[in-house]
Amino acid sequence: MADAADRTTKAAAGDSATGLTKDTAGLVEFARTASSVRESIGRVIVGKADVVELVLVALLCEGHILLEDVPGVGKTMMARSTAASLGLRFARVQCTPDLLPADILGTSVYNPNTRDFEFRPGPIMNQIVLTDEINRATPRTQSALLEAMGEGQVTVDGVTRRLDTPFLVLATQNPIEFEGTFPLPEAQLDRFLMRVQMGYPDAGEEREIVLRQVKGVRPDGLTAVAGPEDVVKAQAAVRTVHVEPDLLRYIIDLVAATRQHADIALGASPRASINLFRASQALAAVRGRDYILPDDVQYLAPAVLTHRMVLKPESQLRGRSTADVVREVLERKALPIEEGVG
């Protein structure tokens, strides 16, 4: 692989592998914005810099995140802080078994004054939507999110309405408590760009969290450091981040290896290759680069791939996990080197 200086020179002129024109100015501007956003969120969220980074990556990729963790670790606070820092409209949906698709998408209501039906938009019409405990909603209601997440639109009463951009779904689920839940089907899991765990804070972080809560530090007190138009511009700029042909081949080989692994009944789909490619571009931009590195791909692979695979029953009985499979694939696949892929 070419060295960093050579990569930057080629990237500035354009990406011959993809035919993209480099938007260097847009990427530099976004790197500064991303730093300001992280600082703003950090006024409310203690630690979790890695999760904040991944949320920004998802937003830039026009993707969505499944936050899988126990209650009380700050998932809702993370979503609200991100929306406040970027000036985006926020809505929260508490999923329950009696939640209907209309409760999320909206419905048409008859107005006796106009003698016509008027559309009353649901919470999905906002820009950052937190669907709390998504696995407590019925499959019918879960599937109502598919069109919105995949196509950026909703169809109600035969009328299709585009969603405002940027648009991000942050769905949460408790990986421990399964009573009264409806596991997400593979088709819907595949719609999520990443699955992320926040984890417990360490002792020092937890002390700071308690002190901030006593002081009344809340997302409502944050001032937006950027706006929706800045995010949309950044989304376009990120698509021009340079990707070496060897790295593209590396991404495709990693995803293909999940389909050939002895423990896997269903490997990651081509959508996984696309998402890993785009997420790597976004991560490079967030970190202030206009080209991706193998480290970007390896860092993101567990979050992008683990929820897209299905283990064989006998592998599950042996205590194997999809995270184990991704770890092994990353260890076995040779990294791109200066002369090419080893």
Domains of the chain with CATH codes: 1-22+240-342 (1.10.8.80), 45-225 (3.40.50.300)
CA angle 171–173–177, rounded 5-degree value: 170
Task: Give tens-digit pLDDT for 118-152.
Answer: 889 999 999 999 999 998 999 989 888 888 888 88
pLDDT for 23 equals: 66
CA–CA distance, 70 with 269 (Å, rounded to integer): 28
Kindly indicate the confidence band of residue 21, based on its pLDDT and cuts at 50, 70 and 90: low
pLDDT in tens, 217-239: 778 778 888 899 999 989 998 99
Tell me what pLDDT residue 22 has: 59
pLDDT at 10 over 80: no
pTM for the predicted model, two decimal places? 0.84
Which of 113-117, 189-193, 298-302 has the lowest average pLDDT? 113-117
119 phi, psi to nearest 5 deg: -80, 125
Q: What is the pLDDT of residue 243?
A: 93
Query: For the chain, how many residues are written?
Result: 342
The pLDDT of 198-218, averaged and rounded, is: 83
In terms of Cβ atoms closer than 10 Å to its own Cβ (0-12, 13-18, 19+), residue 59 is buried
Note whether 122 and 104 are within 8 A (CB): yes
Going from the C-alpha of 231 to that of each of 26, 50, 107, 209, the distances in angstroms are 11, 19, 29, 29
Residue with tokens 């790597």: 280
Give the whole-number percent of the chain exceeding pLDDT 70. Answer: 90
Q: Name which of 99, 171, 175, 98 is nearest 128 in CA terms.
A: 171
